[in-house]
Amino acid sequence: MAHTGVLRPGFIQLRVLDMPAAIEHYTKRIGLHQVTEGADGRVYLKAADEFDHHSVVLRRADTAGFDLMAFKVREDADLDRFEKRVADYGYPVDHVAAGEQPGIGRRIGWTLASGHRIELYAQADQSDPRPASHNPDVWVLEPHGMRARRFDHALLYGPHIEETLDFFEKALDFRCTERVDLPDGLLAIWLTAGMKAHDIAFVKHPEPGKFHHAAFELETWMDVGNAADIMTRYDISVDIGPTRHGITRGQTIYFFDPSGNRNEVFSGGYTYYPDNPTRTWDETQVGKGIFYYERAMNDAFLSVVT
């Protein structure tokens, strides 16, 4: 159970260049399901193991990248409470009416100092496919593709990372599970709203609003291997992996969608409790922290963003 009014990641909206190719990638390869297509052409996807209406939104655009990430809060009154806290911190807050995305209630949103739009919402309709809730089997629809179980987290690149950390801790009650400190300052942070190793992460970068990856949770390390087989079979561009992180301890492989947006499939990771200390890494071991087996950084992993 989450320990704050922010429950968990809700959905992410990404820009894609070729909608049919993107739909094929996210449904047939990663293993999501298309829920609906909006009148404006946006496409709404989810994993079969998620209850809420959708967790991924694809928008056709001329450039790939990140539009927004939304978190679900416990109840509608939390939106008013967090609006005041965000505004008091100094970020102007705007309102998105219920139904702007199908199945989603009213939302509040703002732009971080890193250049990324974050939103909160409380109400979401359920949609099919979804898990059974009475005498439930392990799955209702047989898993396919990489067998993604949920949208898990995102990593974003931008400036003012110290302010971003301060904001998430003070305004939204997130906890910093891990961080990378270099001699010239803070490089990266991993933040959680609940008991996962992370729900969102940030890396210091001079350009604002950049997108590194969206991650999808798999059940086991064997599923990460299955995902690698699929990537080879369908000639999907791979960044690195299968490997493991020292930071978060997750087992992972990174790859790209047809538009160049980086994806991750991720399993494992530790359980975080609110009384745990923040795990810290320095410049002597940061390569091992990012890629535990290789013990070295990957240049493309650091530099390629959308």
Grouped pLDDT means (10 residues each) for the chain, 306 residues: 82 98 98 97 97 98 98 97 98 97 98 98 96 92 96 97 98 96 94 96 96 97 96 96 91 97 96 94 88 81 84
Question: Which residue out of 50, 121, 264, 272 is catalytically annotated?
Answer: 264
pTM equals 0.96
* Annotated catalytic residue, options 33, 205, 212, 245: 245
Active site residue 217: no
As a whole number of angstroms, the distance between CA 64 and CA 57 comes to: 13
Question: Is residue 245 flagged as an active site residue?
Answer: yes
Domain boundary among 71, 102, 121: 121
**Res 293: pLDDT:** 81
Is residue 128 in a domain?
no
Catalytic residue among 116, 153, 205, 212: 153
User: How many CB atoms lie under 10 A from the CB of residue 173?
Assistant: 16
For residue 92, the enclosing domain spans 6-121
**Based on the structure, what is the number of domains in the chain?**
2
Domain membership flag for residue 126: no
Amino acid 296: pLDDT: 83
Q: Which of 26, 121, 254, 272 is catalytic?
A: 254
* pLDDT for 2: 59
- pLDDT the model gives residue 268: 94
Q: Which among 198, 205, 212, 272 is annotated as catalytic? A: 198
Same domain, 172 and 257: yes
- Report which of 23, 44, 22 is spatially closest to residue 35, judged by C-alpha positions: 44
Note the pLDDT of residue 294. Answer: 85
pLDDT computed for residue 301 by the predictor: 80
Is 134 contained in some domain? no
Domain identity same for 262 and 155? yes
Q: Are residues 29 and 66 in the same domain?
A: yes
Burial of 147 (0-12, 13-18, 19+ CB in 10 A): buried
Q: Is 160 a catalytic residue?
A: no
- Choosing from 44, 121, 213, 272, the catalytic residue is 213
Half-sphere exposure of 148 (CA within 13 A, CB side): 29
What's the angle, vertex CA 137, arms to CA 134 and CA 138, rounded to 5? 125
Is 198 noted as a catalytic residue in this protein?
yes
In a domain, residue 265? The reply is yes
Is the Cβ–Cβ distance between 155 and 198 less than 8 Å?
no
Which CATH number characterizes residue 93's domain?
Answer: 3.10.180.10
Residue 109 within any structural domain of the chain: yes
